[in-house]
Amino acid sequence: MANQVKTIGVLTSGGDAPGMNAAIRAVVRTAIHKGMKVKGIMRGYAGLLQEEIVDMDSTSVSDIIHRGGTILYTARCQEFMTIEGQKKGAEICRKNNIDGIVVIGGDGSFRGAGKLSALGINTIGLPGTIDLDIACTDYTIGFDTAVNTAMEAIDKVRDTSTSHERCSIIEVMGRNAGYIALWCGFANGAEDILLPERYDGDEQSLINRIIDNRKRGKKHHIIINAEGIGHSSSMARRIEAATGIETRATILGHMQRGGAPTCKDRVYASIMGARAVELLNEGKSNRIVGYKHGEYVDFDIQEALAMTKDIPEDQYQISKMLVR
């Protein structure tokens, strides 16, 4: 049984995601409700090693639930990947009377959380990433906002693409995961969806479909390209050379990380934040809060990191039927 937690630290690490502030707010207010103290750790593990630690109360998290990004800021930290850095982080926690930490981030952040847990600091992870690539959960904080941001942008590109009778390649984020691309492919009625998990590199088939669709009277051709495939600009040049159809690449980039979180991201992140504090209050450690089959659940960090995730085959097959 892990030690009873009296003071909780909360940090955000890795890429920012809309809804992180909602999770921070829930952690702080739930902890205070349960009689715990809360400290905010600025700039992730890098800030922990620099002792950028501030006291937090209910006022600290007022009027943040609607804001994108993270009020605690975020960074990546090479030093914390070393044993020396991890031991230093645990000692700084003890120095500041932090006996439990809520880590909001992705798989790299969870590895760090697992190391802190092994060094005696109770840790709970919350899946904060727009990529939806955490295997133990069907939902990650920020995905819903990011995919809606991308969807709205793609609708706008479609308008101008149709006006000019162009082919448009629109690249969305997701690292090596194709979930944003798949969802936008569905939602935007794309003619082609290129997913890292499925793309075979057959560009000629793509070119043939563009030509066939133009012959059938299509005035535009929207290709959603995932970040894990990339090279959208060079792909556009090759397609234009092969088809004679003006082809433009649009890389949506980090706009997908920003903006006010959707209702779903605010609510789910809040519930996850509260659940993280409840787990610490129960004496739990080395856990990740997830959402599976409509329920909020938790997993051992090492078990969660060993899990794998793939694009659902049924969704992929439906996407193939709906495009063209």
Alpha-carbon span 40 to 11, nearest angstrom: 6
- Which residue numbers belong to the known binding site for substrate? 129-131, 166, 173-175, 227, 248, 254-257
Q: Say which residues have a Cβ less than 8 Å from residue 163's Cβ, sequence separation at least 6.
A: none
Has domain 144-257 been given CATH number 3.30.930.10?
A: no
Q: Say which residues have a Cβ less than 8 Å from residue 282's Cβ, sequence separation at least 6.
A: none
- Which residue numbers belong to the known binding site for ATP? 15, 76-77, 106-109
Query: Tell me, what's the pLDDT at 319?
Result: 87
Query: Tell me, what's the pLDDT at 151?
Result: 98
The answer to whether 7-142+261-306 and 144-257 have equal CATH topology is yes
Alpha-carbon span 304 to 307, nearest angstrom: 5
Query: Tell me, what's the pLDDT at 100?
Result: 96
- Helix axes of 263-281 and 20-33: crossing angle, nearest 10 degrees: 40
16, 140 Cβ separation under 8 angstroms: no
Return per-residue pLDDT of the chain as tens, 324 residues.
446 889 999 999 999 999 999 999 999 999 999 999 999 999 999 999 999 999 999 999 999 999 999 999 999 899 999 999 999 999 999 999 999 999 999 999 999 999 999 999 999 999 999 999 999 999 999 999 999 999 999 999 999 999 999 999 999 999 999 999 999 999 999 999 999 999 999 999 999 999 999 999 988 899 999 999 999 999 999 999 999 999 999 999 999 999 999 999 999 999 999 999 999 999 999 999 999 999 999 999 999 999 999 998 999 889 888 876
Has domain 7-142+261-306 been given CATH number 3.40.50.450?
A: yes
The residues carrying an active-site annotation are 131
- Which residue numbers belong to the known binding site? 15, 25-29, 76-77, 106-109, 129-131, 158, 166, 173-175, 189-191, 216, 218-220, 227, 248, 254-257
Query: Tell me, what's the pLDDT at 214?
Result: 93
Alpha-carbon span 127 to 20, nearest angstrom: 10
- Which residue numbers belong to the known binding site for Mg(2+)? 107
- Going from N- to C-terminal start, the domains of the chain cover 7-142+261-306, 144-257
Query: Tell me, what's the pLDDT at 1?
Result: 41
Question: Distances from the Cα of 176 to the Cαs of 263, 264, 288, in angstroms?
Answer: 26, 24, 21
164, 127 Cβ separation under 8 angstroms: no
Alpha helices in the chain (DSSP H): 20-33, 44-49, 83-95, 107-118, 143-163, 179-187, 203-215, 232-243, 263-281, 301-306, 313-322
